[in-house]
Amino acid sequence: MTVTELDIPADAAPAPLALAKAALFLDLDGTLAPIVARPQDVVADPRRTGILESLMRGLEGRLAVVSGRTLCDIDRILEGRVPAVAAVHGLVRRGADGVVTQTEPHPALPEAVAALRLFAAGHPGMIVEDKGLSATLHYRGDPQHAQVARREAERIAARTGLMLQPGDMVAELRTPGPTKGDSVEAFLAHAPFAGATPIFLGDDLTDEDGFAAAERLGGYGVLVGRKRATAARLRLDDVEAALSWLEAAR
């Protein structure tokens, strides 16, 4: 994966989305929903659900959500409206046919969860999330200790053999396995996605594999948020801009 600082002007939003030959791959937090300090505080939203339902019809099912959240959490937030989902950054994948495949959890995950919880207990504002296939330390609620949190996650990763996946104010220790980019490739190998042009929307470092996969497979990535080094070709300012762009698709 190559991540470079692209020369994206501040107003370089993508052209209006044409649905005829597109396949959409959408991150959730920071793309379809605002990022909040406590992940459990993100709830279903009628507008977002309506946009996704409309896109599902227009795309004839060629839409997948590709998120770091668990499958159950994604279904809760999106009210079960999207059949094709890659969860936990690609470690769990549910096809458009409803069949679920997932990686076996790393045996050291319980140790990592316990170590992160012990660390977080001394830092009010930090939250540990056990996703079954990964353990995530959220430190958005304690930003002054971000560097300390990252170092602790690095130590635990080195000790346990888990893969450290950094993100926006999170450090995730995950079972080695498929990425978001791998999920895009897997979806495109089967109906209804096969033969379509992949478009990946995301905001975080964890979405870079998805951007790169979309570009490699004849499509493109769209970064949601401020300009930064990225493999995405285009950019939208924020969640509201992303929802409005999707809402206007024809």
Which residue from 201, 206, 211, 213 is spatially nearest to 237, judged by alpha carbons?
Answer: 201
- Burial of 126-155, coded b for 16+ CB within 10 Å and e otherwise, reads bbbbbbbbbbbbbbbebeebeeebbebbee
The pLDDT mean for the chain works out to 94
Q: Which of 11, 27, 41, 168 is catalytic?
A: 27
One domain for residues 113 and 81: no
In this prediction, residue 7 carries a pLDDT of 46
**Contact call for residues 83 and 94 (beta carbons, < 8 A):** yes
Domain count, the chain: 2
Considering the domain boundaries, does residue 7 fall inside one? no
Asked if pLDDT for residue 144 goes beyond 70, the answer is: yes
One domain for residues 168 and 74: no
Considering the domain boundaries, does residue 119 fall inside one? yes
- What are the tokens at 77? 């937030």
pLDDT digits (tens, 9 = 90+) for 203-244: 999 999 999 999 999 999 999 999 888 999 999 999 999 999
In this prediction, residue 14 carries a pLDDT of 85
- What are the tokens at 158? 């080195």
In this prediction, residue 6 carries a pLDDT of 47
More confident residue, 127 or 5: 127
One domain for residues 93 and 185: yes
Q: In Å, how far are 76, 135, 140, 192 from 231, measured between CA atoms?
A: 30, 26, 25, 26
In this prediction, residue 119 carries a pLDDT of 97
One domain for residues 28 and 97: yes
One domain for residues 182 and 168: no
Considering the domain boundaries, does residue 17 fall inside one? no
Helix (H) or strand (E) holding 66, with range, is strand 63-66
| Catalytic residue check, 238 | no
**Contact call for residues 242 and 236 (beta carbons, < 8 A):** yes
Considering the domain boundaries, does residue 211 fall inside one? yes
Asked if pLDDT for residue 10 goes beyond 50, the answer is: no
Asked if pLDDT for residue 8 goes beyond 70, the answer is: no
CA–CA separation, 192 vs 23, rounded Å? 9
At 220 the three-state DSSP class reads strand
One domain for residues 170 and 206: no
What domain range includes position 69?
22-103+177-247
Return the CATH number at 235.
3.40.50.1000
One domain for residues 31 and 90: yes
One domain for residues 198 and 240: yes
One domain for residues 98 and 195: yes
Count Cβ atoms below 10 Å from residue 179 Cβ, excluding itself: 24
- What are the tokens at 140? 């958005």
Considering the domain boundaries, does residue 4 fall inside one? no
pTM score above 0.85? yes
